């Protein structure tokens, strides 16, 4: 077979570029990036092997690549083997015909294949296959939560770190995936009556055209931002997700969850930076909100559509219009709906069912660099808060900012790295001072107890009684994570 040149990164998986929404990447993309500070000596016993951290990139299951998240700063002063991976995105990774022809979740099954490869081969890089932490942010965090409950991933890892995402985030679970796949086929001129014909036709279409067709599912300013993602599999020989995630038993291992103070700056940073967009939201609120907050397909009764939109507006804006003066209301609304409520709910649910500890932090530090600058295509993030993904910049070297170049920001890097490294090694995160970091209560009715990492780089224990305004969102008449949205005929051959 010859010698493989492993010094050149493999291609990104084909998907949308977040900045331009043009199609980038290649179909030949299922590569891992393995970084090790040292190779094992001959005869090295397992006790000398290093812990392994596997990073699963985010990107709404539509864009992103493992190579964008390098080993610095995590490996600068730590002996770890660090692995970042690719997986199929968009329809190529998550379309489904609801039967054995195309069961779905190919992207997550790619991740399983990577984790199995690591189990078989990581010793060659000095890594311990019995000490693997899987970590991710956003869709990557939702992915690691899915692995926690998937029967296909059992025994492939020992710790989980989930930043700003969970499998209970509405955007991380695809409603009506069969109907979406049928619509995708129609856009591409494929038959939709028999699933075998549909899939045969889709396979004949260029990957670029399939990915380009994603834009048909993004009706308002590229929202909802995750039209194709994980779904329950009702057929197939081996099912990654055989039931709704909250109904599946989770592996009993230590978990670390987090969100940022203003997570909803993705996707709202770009929106609140443009006065014309805020005016559009105010003028067309009832139309826009189901797309922005991704509940368009889960309204239990269509007659309630205007009422739901107005209830949300009243709760977050009172009697005030959407404008520059209420941009923080937009940010809070998207933060609660997209991230804070479902991430906190997932962590509390898992803590209630697990003997192992579940820890939680909120990242409240904004440095010189912020991912808000990436999310905003014009202007800057001055006056905005702590964005979605800002904490990751202090742990893993990304292309979105260089906190090591700023003296104050650089102080936080070893602290954040230590949280990951200590948790990966012991199952307990260390913040290096006298503050006690208590795990979550086993009673889901109790407040969410967490550590708040503040703008002053202090660590404050907090209790949040209603994280993400869970009480309000639980009253919304939505059918998310409901069996009503799952394709029921597991033996059908027609779409």
- Compute the average pLDDT of residues 466-485: 91
Res. 219 pLDDT band, cuts 50 70 90? very high
Res. 281 pLDDT band, cuts 50 70 90? very high
pLDDT for residue 342: 98
pLDDT for residue 6: 80
Distance CA 156, CA 120 (A): 10
Each residue of 402-442: pLDDT tens digit? 888 899 999 999 999 999 999 999 999 998 777 889 999 99
Structure tokens at 358: 């579940």
Residue 5 CB coordination number (10 Å): 6
pLDDT for residue 393: 94
Q: Which residues contact 456 (CB under 8 A, 6 or more apart)?
A: none
Res. 399 pLDDT band, cuts 50 70 90? confident
Distance CA 473, CA 459 (A): 29
Structure tokens at 348: 């509390």
> Does 488 have pLDDT greater than 60?
no
- Compute the average pLDDT of residues 314-341: 97
Distance CA 482, CA 247 (A): 11
pLDDT for residue 450: 98
> Does 135 have pLDDT greater than 60?
yes
Residue 155 CB coordination number (10 Å): 10
Distance CA 127, CA 447 (A): 38
> Does 133 have pLDDT greater than 90?
yes
pLDDT for residue 495: 45
- The share of the chain scoring above pLDDT 70, in percent, equals 95
| Cis amide linkage into residue 59, ω under 30° from 0 | no
Q: In a 10 Å sphere around its CB, with 0-12 CB exposed, 13-18 middle and 19+ buried, how is residue 186 labelled?
A: middle
pLDDT for residue 490: 38
Res. 377 pLDDT band, cuts 50 70 90? low
Q: Which residues contact 43 (CB under 8 A, 6 or more apart)?
A: none
Each residue of 298-312: pLDDT tens digit? 998 999 999 999 999
pLDDT for residue 489: 43
> Does 155 have pLDDT greater than 80?
yes
> Does 29 have pLDDT greater than 50?
yes
Strand ranges, E, within 383-467: 396-398, 448-453, 459-464
Each residue of 55-99: pLDDT tens digit? 999 999 999 999 999 898 999 988 999 999 999 999 999 999 999
The CATH H-level (homologous superfamily) assignment of domain 15-265+332-485 is Alpha/Beta hydrolase fold, catalytic domain (3.40.50.1820)
- Compute the average pLDDT of residues 344-361: 98
pLDDT for residue 277: 94
Res. 493 pLDDT band, cuts 50 70 90? very low
- Compute the average pLDDT of residues 358-383: 84
Average pLDDT, the chain: 93
C-alpha triplet 338, 463, 247: angle, nearest 5°: 50
Instruction: Answer whether 188's CB lies under 8 Å from 173's CB.
Output: no
Residue 222 CB coordination number (10 Å): 19
Each residue of 241-278: pLDDT tens digit? 999 999 999 999 999 999 999 999 999 998 999 999 99
Q: CA end-to-end span of the chain, whole Å?
A: 42
């Amino acid at each position: 077979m010859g010698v493989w040149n492993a010094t050149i990164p493999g291609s990104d998986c084909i998907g949308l570029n977040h900045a331009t929404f043009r199609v980038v990447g290649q179909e030949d993309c299922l590569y891992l990036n393995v970084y090790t500070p040292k190779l094992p000596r001959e005869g090295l016993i397992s006790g000398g092997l290093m812990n392994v951290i596997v990073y699963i990139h985010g990107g709404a299951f539509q864009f992103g690549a493992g190579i964008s998240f390098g080993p610095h700063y995590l490996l600068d002063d730590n002996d770890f083997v660090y692995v970042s991976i690719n997986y199929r995105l968009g329809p190529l990774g998550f379309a489904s015909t609801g039967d054995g022809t195309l069961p779905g979740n190919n992207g997550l099954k790619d991740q399983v294949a990577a984790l199995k490869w690591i189990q078989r081969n990581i010793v060659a890089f000095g890594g311990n296959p019995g000490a693997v932490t899987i970590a991710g942010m956003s869709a990557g965090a939702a992915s690691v939560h899915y692995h926690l409950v998937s029967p296909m991933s059992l025994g492939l890892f020992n710790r989980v770190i989930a930043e700003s995402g969970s499998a209970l985030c509405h955007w991380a679970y695809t409603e009506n995936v069969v109907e979406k796949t049928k619509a995708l086929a129609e856009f591409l001129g494929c038959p939709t009556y028999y699933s075998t014909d549909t899939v045969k036709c889709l396979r004949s279409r260029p990957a670029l055209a399939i990915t380009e067709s994603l834009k048909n599912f993004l009706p308002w300013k590229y929202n909802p931002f995750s039209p194709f993602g994980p779904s329950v599999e009702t057929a197939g020989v081996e099912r990654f997700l055989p039931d709704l995630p909250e109904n599946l038993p989770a592996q009993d291992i230590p978990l670390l969850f987090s969100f940022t103070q203003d997570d909803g700056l993705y996707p709202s940073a770009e929106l609140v930076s443009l006065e014309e967009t805020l005016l559009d939201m105010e003028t067309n609120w009832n139309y826009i909100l189901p797309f922005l907050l991704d509940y368009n397909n889960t309204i239990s009764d269509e007659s309630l559509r205007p009422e739901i939109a107005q209830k949300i507006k009243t709760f977050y804006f009172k009697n005030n219009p959407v404008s520059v003066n209420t941009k923080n209301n937009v940010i809070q609304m998207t933060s609660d709906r997209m991230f804070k409520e479902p991430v906190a709910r997932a962590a509390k649910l898992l803590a209630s069912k697990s003997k192992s500890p579940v820890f939680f932090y909120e990242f409240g530090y904004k440095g010189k660099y912020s991912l808000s600058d990436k999310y905003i295509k014009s202007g800057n993030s001055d006056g905005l808060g702590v964005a979605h993904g800002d904490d990751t910049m202090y742990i893993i070297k990304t292309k979105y900012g260089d906190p090591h170049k700023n003296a104050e920001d650089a102080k936080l890097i070893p602290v954040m790295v230590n949280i990951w490294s200590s948790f990966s090694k012991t199952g307990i995160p260390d913040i290096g001072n006298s503050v006690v970091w208590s795990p979550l209560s086993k009673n889901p009715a109790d407040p969410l107890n967490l550590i708040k990492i503040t703008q002053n780089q202090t660590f404050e224990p907090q209790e949040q009684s209603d994280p993400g305004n869970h009480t309000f969102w639980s009253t919304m008449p939505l059918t998310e994570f409901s069996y009503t949205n799952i394709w029921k005929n597991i033996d059908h051959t027609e779409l």
